[in-house]
Amino acid sequence: MYRRITAVLAGAAAAAATFGFAGSAQAAGAPCGAQAKACVQLSTDTAWLMDGGKVVRGGVPVTVGKPAYPTPRGTFHVQYKDIDHYSKEFNGPMPYSVFFTNTGVAFHQGSLKAQSHGCVHLSHADAVAFYDGLHPGDVVQVVK
């Protein structure tokens, strides 16, 4: 019995060392800090919704800005939300918009095949989840 318990504990310790603490952002692959409520990794076209460093949704696929209109990197705060936003500048709908820069960059429902003018495109289901899960003042981190 002692050998079996020791083997189980050794296996658990090895798994913890390999993967980190279960439920942590790093263990789940989100590269952002515990203060982030949303995390975007540009190099993998992936986003996560977070709560206290734990992933609550994701990673989900996204598309980001074209080279001429890159999605900015850094730490931002949700400015405002608009469920039926329409971009006059780019002449197109931006459903479920969550704006997180003062230059008009937002999470919103959009094509997962075409790059944006800086925004983070999400599928319909993910756009709804980000819209419902994020609120003004929440931290958004965008990393390489």
Q: Which candidate in 119, 121, 124, 135 is catalytic?
A: 119
Instruction: State pTM to two decimals.
Output: 0.81
Q: Which candidate in 32, 85, 108, 121 is catalytic?
A: 108
> What pLDDT sits at residue 105?
98
CA distances from 106 to 14, 24, 28, 92, 113 (A): 40, 26, 24, 14, 17
| Banded model confidence at residue 17, pLDDT cuts 50, 70, 90 | very low
Q: Has 108 been annotated as catalytic?
A: yes
Q: Has 119 been annotated as catalytic?
A: yes
Question: Can you list the alpha helix ranges (DSSP code H) found in the chain?
Answer: 2-19, 25-28, 124-133
Domains of the chain: 22-143 (2.40.440.10)
| Banded model confidence at residue 132, pLDDT cuts 50, 70, 90 | very high
The pair phi, psi for residue 102, each rounded to 5°, is: -90, 10
> Average pLDDT, stretch 105-125?
98
Q: Is the peptide bond before 33 cis (omega within 30 degrees of 0)?
A: no
